[in-house]
Amino acid sequence: MQDDLLNTRQVAPSVLASDFARVGAQVEEVMTAGARVIHIDVMDGAFVPALSMGPQMVSALHDQVHDAGGWLDVHLMIERPERHVEAFAAAGADSISVHVEATPHIHYALKAVREADCKAGLALNPGTPTTAIDSLAGAFDLLLCMTVNPGWGGQPYIPGSEARIEDLRARIGSDVPLEVDGGIDVPTAGSAADAGATLFVAGSSIYGAEDVAAAYREIAAAAGA
Ligand code: DX5
Ligand code: ZN
């Protein structure tokens, strides 16, 4: 796939906020507007209260997204994610993020993602100390900093997340993609970018807008993408 995509600033629309009756058309809308990274939120009703979607959504979208030169970014909000990595990789995921809080075997889970030929993302909840990543240096390809508590779209960005983003950026150095997820809109994309984020998940601020393409472009401009 487009291996260098994550090394550029990107806004990743989240399918969770799209109209599930016409997901393909909604993905096409944002890709036509310029999006190349599509974010898929997987929830299991255990790590987070809600249920959302599984590998079937990745399979359903992978031809469309890859044919348009895009990237499928899968965010696993599930317990024991290592047990499901293979299924998401086989379905066509390009990157798979696993939560440090979701398994006692986080190093193994990240390794399983790489062994499945996907980029390995390490995700952190807002309440998790940033030092949690220190023993995992070199074991992940991207870092996902939650800027809301995971489990629902449409929540407000947690104020003060910039300090966390700056702290994480300092720990990983300048080359590792740093993804922010939750409550990203025009103002928060700008402040997260200033703090060091490079990949910006946006759900309701894009799909909740009347003009989806215009909303994507405004957030991309604010993020410097
Ligand atoms: C939240 C998910 C997010 C969600 C973001 O648990 O991880 O990716 O789709 O939605 P918004 O942008 O609406 O906060
Ligand atoms: Zn997400």
pLDDT above 70 covers what percent of the chain?
99
pLDDT digits (tens, 9 = 90+) for 53-70: 999 999 999 999 999 999
153 lines ligand 1 (CB under 6 A): yes
- The ranges assigned to domains in the chain are 5-223
Nearest CA to ligand 1 atom 10: 153
Q: What pTM does this model have?
A: 0.98
What tokens appear for 158 in the block? 């947690």
State the closest ligand 1 atom to the C-alpha of 48, by its place in the atom list counted from 1. Answer: 6
Residue 4: predicted pLDDT: 85
2 has a pLDDT exceeding 80: no
Q: In the CATH hierarchy, which top-level class contains the domain 5-223?
A: alpha beta
Q: Is the CB of residue 121 below 6 angstroms from any atom belonging to ligand 1?
A: no
* 181 flagged as catalytic: yes
Annotated catalytic residue, options 94, 141, 181, 185: 181
- pLDDT tens sequence across 153-162: 999 999 999 9
Residues 6+ apart with CB under 8 A from 114: 120, 141
1: pLDDT strictly greater than 80 = no
Residue 194 falls in the annotated catalytic set = no
Whole-angstrom Cα distance, residue 81 to residue 25? 29
